[in-house]
Amino acid sequence: MTKSSFPKTYSSKKQLKKREEAVEFVCMIDLKILRENTEAVRRGIEKKKFQCDLEGFLALDQKRRLHITRTEEARAKQKSANNDMAALPKGSPEFLKKVEEMKSLAAQVKELEIEEKAIEEKWKALYLSIPNVPHESVPVGKTDKDNQVVLTWGDCSKISPCAVPHYDIPWFGKLIDFPRGVKVTGAGFPFYIGDMARLVRALLNFFLEEAKKAGYEEFMAPIVVNAASATATGQLPDKEGMMYYANEDQLYLIPTAEVPVTNFYRDEIFEESELPVYRCGYTPCFRREAGSWGKDVRGLNRLHQFDKVELVKWVHPDHSFEELEKLRLDAERLLQKLELPYRVLAICTGDIGFPHSKQYDLEVWAGGQKRWLEVSSCSNFTDFQARRAGIRFRPKNGKVETVHTLNGSGLAIPRVLAAILENNIQSDGKVKIPSILKKWIDTEFIGA
């Protein structure tokens, strides 16, 4: 697109249209359950922090269904009249009479269709605003303070007494160069240099290898996606501001591999025998983090670009909560093998995301900063995301059903790196590299 002969507004209009289109196929919570089990859904949603108008939606849903019936009846009439007419000799008096009859039928149908479209639009908007219902095992709470510590692994008190925040390590700037990142790109885009770059690569290899052992097939995925994909996984339309956007081509830089990997199976139907499907992928992740910049985000704690391995599962609805536990263990094992103390949080109803039914966060202990850093978030979306993305399966006997999707980081690199730097620092100022990484990095210590 070197010759931009079209006016600037053109691309933004097109872009807007595209976004609207992308929202078209969207559907979210199970309508049947919502209609038949309204109370349970209401109770579940009330525990979440999201507002939605259930009553309004159900009233409109009723109206929509009535209207659909009316429109369909009109169309059926039109159709049968058309078939009658097809049997008549063209141009005969009967034929011409029928044409007149059909004119009025067509006008009726058209009118009903316009009305239906308007209702459908409102209906969809409300439908979209209904969040997923939290699982009964999710702790009830209002804010992140109410999240429950499920378990703590490792001994934080045994961390080296000389631990300092990683950004205060004297040689830190030599191996991770922020100022030059600023020069080349901007804040939050550091260069990793020499042994540090190798350490990042070693971690990636370790994560991918472990994922493979756990049964996840590796994807190397696109790192830019179109609006339809970003909508299917829920980044659009709400969290638009989190993503970098290539305006010229209407493509989004992915905030996580979840987006391309989950969309791999968008609008597809699995055979029941294929489930569960496990996939993983390493990608750089891009997050604008607009407005979230401030204290507590120094060094590697929060970046605009970072590396992450993501684990994704498509499973039978009957097993998704067991699969979540397994997924969490797959992520936990990584921290254990790296010998990094961590804890697992069960995210409470008030802090859980819009599409989540249940969510665990894994937080690694950063001994220098003396804080927990989130390195993984493992979630069961039940059928919520899959319905939106049109990912289903065909039971051996019976009708097509929506699969359940889950994903979890396994893991996000920079904060793991921060924990290694802070927890493994020796009295001589060097950092000991976890022995499990020996296979991919031959040095035992880095720094100084």
Instruction: List residues binding RNA (CB under 7 A).
Output: 1-2, 21, 24, 27, 31, 65, 68-69, 71-73, 75-76, 78-80, 82-83, 85-87, 90, 99, 102-103, 105-106, 110, 269, 392, 394, 399-400
H or E stretch at 41: helix 38-46
H or E stretch at 318: none
**CA–CA separation, 331 and 66 (whole Å):** 49
- 28 close to 384: Cβ distance less than 8 angstroms: yes
Strand partners, 379: 359, 407
Q: How far is the CB of 80 from RNA (least distance, A)?
A: 7
Q: How far is the CB of 82 from RNA (least distance, A)?
A: 5
Closer to RNA by Cβ: residue 51 or 273: 273
CA 134 to chain centroid: 16
Closer to RNA by Cβ: residue 67 or 333: 67
**CA–CA separation, 301 and 178 (whole Å):** 13
Residue with the two structure tokens 């985000």: 297
Q: How far is the CB of 32 from RNA (least distance, A)?
A: 8
User: Buried b vs exposed e over 130-159: b needs ≥16 C-beta within 10 Å?
Assistant: bbbbbbeebbebeeeeebeeeeebbeeeeb
Closer to RNA by Cβ: residue 86 or 246: 86
Closer to RNA by Cβ: residue 249 or 322: 249
Closer to RNA by Cβ: residue 78 or 160: 78
Q: How far is the CB of 314 from RNA (least distance, A)?
A: 16
Closer to RNA by Cβ: residue 78 or 305: 78
Of 415, 382, 373, 416, give the one whose Cα is nearest residue 401.
382
User: Which residues are within 8 A (CB) of 33 and not within 5 positions of it... i.e. 6 or more apart?
Assistant: 40, 41
Q: How far is the CB of 192 from RNA (least distance, A)?
A: 22
Q: How far is the CB of 11 from RNA (least distance, A)?
A: 10
**CA–CA separation, 60 and 57 (whole Å):** 5
**CA–CA separation, 164 and 180 (whole Å):** 23
Closer to RNA by Cβ: residue 96 or 184: 96
Q: β-pairing, 392-394 with 269-271?
A: parallel
Q: How far is the CB of 118 from RNA (least distance, A)?
A: 12
Backbone torsions φ then ψ of 271, nearest 5 degrees: -80, 145
Q: How far is the CB of 305 from RNA (least distance, A)?
A: 21
Q: How far is the CB of 412 from RNA (least distance, A)?
A: 28
**CA–CA separation, 256 and 239 (whole Å):** 13
Residue with the two structure tokens 């039940």: 382
Closer to RNA by Cβ: residue 90 or 145: 90
Strand partners, 177: 191
Closer to RNA by Cβ: residue 60 or 203: 60
Closer to RNA by Cβ: residue 38 or 82: 82
Helix axes 38-46, 54-87, angle to 10 degrees: 140
Q: How far is the CB of 68 from RNA (least distance, A)?
A: 5
Closer to RNA by Cβ: residue 80 or 247: 80
CA 244 to chain centroid: 16
Q: How far is the CB of 89 from RNA (least distance, A)?
A: 11
- Helix or strand or coil: residue 271? strand
DSSP strands (E only) in 154-232 = 176-177, 191-192, 217-219, 224-225
Token pair of 382 as six digits: 């039940």
